[in-house]
């Protein structure tokens, strides 16, 4: 069971630590409309149950973005309705089910659209009429899914870029449907915004200066006085 999330700035590595209390979800969507057949339940969801979305929560125009739809495959035919799910959140405004759409002729796979993104920094639980449930969490910047925004997330993304991954749900930080170097730039910028530049160090090497969420600059860079002479540009 999840509870209200608390964001706080940590002193070590300039991290944001996510703490979970055990007060439970607050309910947002309508109550169950009808019972599902006893022999029909949820087989799989996309994203999968437990997914943590580490991507940007604002587009370039400053508009809120995030996970606002998912697909569900059932073990048998279902006549899904917008009232077939209850939506609970650990905090913030619960998104409402806006529309449902069958994806297969046998009506076992459905797309569910929400009226907005799941809330930032919280977990959102979707409960089907038979009690089957799955949870999604929105933690921008938490690439490795450990509940903490830190330099380890930057390392995880760099390793993913080195392996030429195409996992956009985890590594496409800027949400342009491509995993590339721009996602790293977006992640560092996102970490600045979440943690604060005052908790970062400025590291310089060969005419380039970047912010790092570390106590010391990684070699071969050297620490200089912040702010950087220019974001990603020469000094």
Q: Do residues 110 and 145 make contact, with C-beta atoms less than 8 angstroms apart? A: no
Does some domain include residue 147?
no
Q: For the segment 168-197, what is each residue's pLDDT rounded down to a tens digit?
A: 999 999 999 999 999 999 998 887 776 554
Q: What are the CA-CA distances from residue 74 to residues 3, 67, 108, 126, 218 (Å)?
A: 28, 21, 5, 14, 48
Does some domain include residue 148?
no
* Whether residue 134 is found in the same domain as residue 213: no
Ramachandran sector of residue 92 (left: φ over 0; alpha: ψ -120 to 50; beta: rest)? left
**Residue that terminates a domain, selected from 111, 138, 165:** 138
pTM: 0.69
Domain of residue 59, residue span:
5-138
**Residue that terminates a domain, selected from 113, 138, 163:** 138
* Whether residue 127 is found in the same domain as residue 43: yes
* Whether residue 40 is found in the same domain as residue 114: yes
* Whether residue 134 is found in the same domain as residue 206: no
* Whether residue 112 is found in the same domain as residue 204: no
* Whether residue 27 is found in the same domain as residue 105: yes
Does some domain include residue 177?
no
* Whether residue 126 is found in the same domain as residue 205: no
Q: For the segment 77-126, what is each residue's pLDDT rounded down to a tens digit?
A: 999 999 999 999 998 889 999 999 999 999 999 999 999 999 998 999 99
pLDDT at 20 over 50: no
Does some domain include residue 33?
yes
**Structural domain tally of the chain?**
2
Does some domain include residue 152?
no
* Whether residue 112 is found in the same domain as residue 212: no
Domain harbouring 54, CATH code? 2.60.40.1220
């Amino acid at each position: 069971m999840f509870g209200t999330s608390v964001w706080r700035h940590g002193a070590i590595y300039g991290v944001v630590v996510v703490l979970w209390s055990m007060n439970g979800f607050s309910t947002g969507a309508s109550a169950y409309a009808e019972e599902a057949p006893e022999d029909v339940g949820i087989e799989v969801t996309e994203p999968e149950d437990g997914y943590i979305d580490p991507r940007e929560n604002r587009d370039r125009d400053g508009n809120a973005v995030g996970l606002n739809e998912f697909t569900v495959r059932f073990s048998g035919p279902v006549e899904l309705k917008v009232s077939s799910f209850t939506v609970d959140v650990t905090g913030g405004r619960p998104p409402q089910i806006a529309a449902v759409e069958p994806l297969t002729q046998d009506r076992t796979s459905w797309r569910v659209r929400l009226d907005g993104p799941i809330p930032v920094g919280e977990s959102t639980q979707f409960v089907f009429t038979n009690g089957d449930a799955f949870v999604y969490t929105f933690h921008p910047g938490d690439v490795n899914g450990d509940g903490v925004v830190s330099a380890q997330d930057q390392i995880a993304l760099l390793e993913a870029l080195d392996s030429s991954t195409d996992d956009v749900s985890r590594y496409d930080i800027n949400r342009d449907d491509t995993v590339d170097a721009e996602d790293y730039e977006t992640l560092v910028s996102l970490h600045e915004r979440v943690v604060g530049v005052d908790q970062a160090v400025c590291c310089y090497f060969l005419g380039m200066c970047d912010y790092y969420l570390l106590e010391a600059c990684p070699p071969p860079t050297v620490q200089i006085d912040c702010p950087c002479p220019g974001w990603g540009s020469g000094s």
